[in-house]
């Protein structure tokens, strides 16, 4: 069976990865020691044992706690640089990386500290690791639209360091329309637009992400299968879905990976891609996700090729880069 080798070796873009979700337990402990941050876990193993999630919120509580060890520009640089080195071993040739500034600025970390650290690692990635990398600033949807506007304002002095904005955190109860005005402003400013929708939330949230926020990609989007009209819209418009199989399994969106609908999305002609979401928390990087979902759902070499092609089509890289990857 050559499929695992094909999945691993094929060049790919990764479009849905939260940098805070790439902090491995060992790295959390090392940064906590370096920065004098107290952790409520006795050991790396004790922390890892806490990674027993029942839904999105049970994960987010631990994920924001883990991110609390990031204080200095060097911490953000080191985190991004570790991810980029790891991604290169999975033959990722382009990464669009999410970051959650509000989880840092709320602890008193300046916006510039966050963005400069991450951006420096991205800028060095072509030389150091042979891949291109850009940043997407995500607003936390459990916070207010006013706080999102304040975050945008604070980030604008660094606007050349991120290409787009997204929407993440607790989905149910925080529909995309809550952020209509701040996303309208982001569009005026020329940012690319993505949004998490239809991870745990209903198809209506995907409609809102498309029609209200004007999202160019939907992060997750797996609940779209429950709305036939929406499926036709996503297919006809080639609206990419950045799917994260191991995340969906660990957060019990599809408790059994064999029940995951990635193959159905691909076979319906949608531009679905495979991504790691939060690799340190969900048991794998992008190739682990590809291998696991392929084995569990019976993907073919044709699906593998389509996933790689979709990842490049869905990326915000320029036309020249896309032509090189064809
Ligand atoms: N932040 C990090 N991972 C996330 C996910 N899977 N859904 C929503 N917000 C997130
Ligand atoms: Zn995500």
- pLDDT tens profile 50-91: 999 999 999 999 999 999 999 999 999 999 999 999 999 999
Yes or no: say if 254 and 220 are a contact pair by the CB < 8 Å rule. Answer: no
Yes or no: say if 281 and 271 are a contact pair by the CB < 8 Å rule. Answer: no
Residue nearest to atom 10 of ligand 1 (CA): 169
Q: How many CA atoms lie within 13 A of 146 on its CB side?
A: 0
Q: Does domain 3-316 have CATH number 3.10.450.50?
A: no
pLDDT (tens digit per residue) in 88-144? 999 999 999 999 999 999 999 999 999 999 999 999 999 999 999 999 999 999 999
Centre of ligand 1 to C-alpha 43, Å, is: 25
Yes or no: say if 118 and 137 are a contact pair by the CB < 8 Å rule. Answer: no
pTM to 2 decimal places: 0.98
Classify burial at 118, counting beta carbons within 10 Å of its beta carbon; exposed 0-12, middle 13-18, buried 19 or more. Answer: buried
Query: Which of the listed residues 173, 278, 279, 282 should we mutate to test ligand 1's pocket, taking the one with most ligand atoms within 8 A of CB?
Result: 278
pLDDT (tens digit per residue) in 23-51? 999 999 999 999 999 999 999 999 999 99
pLDDT (tens digit per residue) in 295-316? 999 999 999 999 999 999 999 9
Radius of gyration of the chain, Cα coordinates, nearest whole angstrom: 18
Predicted-assembly ipTM surpassing the 0.85 threshold: yes
Instruction: Identify the H or E element spanning 99.
Output: strand 92-99
Residue nearest to atom 8 of ligand 1 (CA): 169
The two tokens of residue 35 are: 């920065």
Judged against a pLDDT cut of 90, whether residue 326 lies above it is answered with no
The order of strands in the sheet holding 12-18 is 12-18, 92-99, 132-140, 164-168, 192-197, 217-220, 241-243, 272-274
Q: Cα–Cα–Cα angle for 117, 129, 16, nearest 5°?
A: 65
Which of 199, 200, 216, 313 is an active site residue?
199
Query: Which of the listed residues 61, 101, 168, 241 should we mutate to test ligand 1's pocket, taking the one with most ligand atoms within 8 A of CB?
Result: 168
Task: Evaluate: CB of 277 within 6 angstroms of ligand 1.
Answer: yes
Yes or no: say if 267 and 231 are a contact pair by the CB < 8 Å rule. Answer: no
Centre of ligand 1 to C-alpha 220, Å, is: 10
Centre of ligand 2 to C-alpha 276, Å, is: 8
């Amino acid at each position: 069976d050559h499929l695992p080798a094909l999945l691993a070796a094929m060049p790919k873009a990764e479009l849905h990865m939260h940098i805070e979700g790439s902090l491995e337990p060992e790295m959390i402990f090392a940064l906590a020691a370096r920065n004098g941050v107290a952790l409520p876990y006795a050991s790396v193993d004790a922390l890892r044992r806490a990674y027993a999630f029942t839904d999105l919120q049970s994960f987010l509580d631990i994920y924001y706690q883990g991110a609390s060890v990031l204080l200095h520009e060097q911490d953000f640089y080191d985190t991004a640089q570790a991810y980029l080195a790891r991604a290169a071993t999975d033959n990722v040739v382009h990464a669009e990386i999410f970051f959650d500034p509000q989880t840092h600025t709320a602890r008193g970390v300046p916006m510039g500290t966050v963005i400069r650290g991450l951006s420096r690692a991205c800028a060095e990635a072509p030389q150091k690791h042979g891949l291109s990398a850009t940043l997407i600033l995500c607003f936390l949807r459990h916070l207010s639209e006013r706080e999102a506007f304040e975050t945008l304002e604070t980030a604008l002095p660094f606007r050349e360091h991120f290409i787009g904005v997204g929407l993440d955190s607790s989905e149910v109860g925080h529909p995309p329309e809550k952020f209509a005005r701040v996303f309208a402003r982001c569009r005026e400013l020329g940012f690319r637009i993505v949004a998490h929708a239809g991870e745990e939330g209903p198809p209506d949230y995907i409609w809102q992400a498309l029609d209200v926020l004007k999202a160019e990609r939907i992060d997750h989007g797996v609940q779209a299968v429950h709305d036939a009209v929406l499926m036709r819209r996503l297919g006809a418009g080639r609206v990419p879905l950045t799917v994260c199989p191991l995340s969906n399994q660990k957060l019990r969106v599809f408790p059994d990976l064999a029940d995951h609908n990635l193959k159905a999305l691909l076979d319906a002609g949608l531009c679905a891609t495979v991504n790691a979401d939060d690799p340190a928390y969900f048991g794998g990087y992008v190739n682990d996700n590809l291998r696991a979902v392929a084995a569990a759902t019976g993907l073919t070499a044709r699906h593998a090729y389509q996933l790689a092609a979709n990842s490049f089509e869905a990326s915000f890289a320029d036309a020249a880069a896309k032509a090189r990857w064809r």
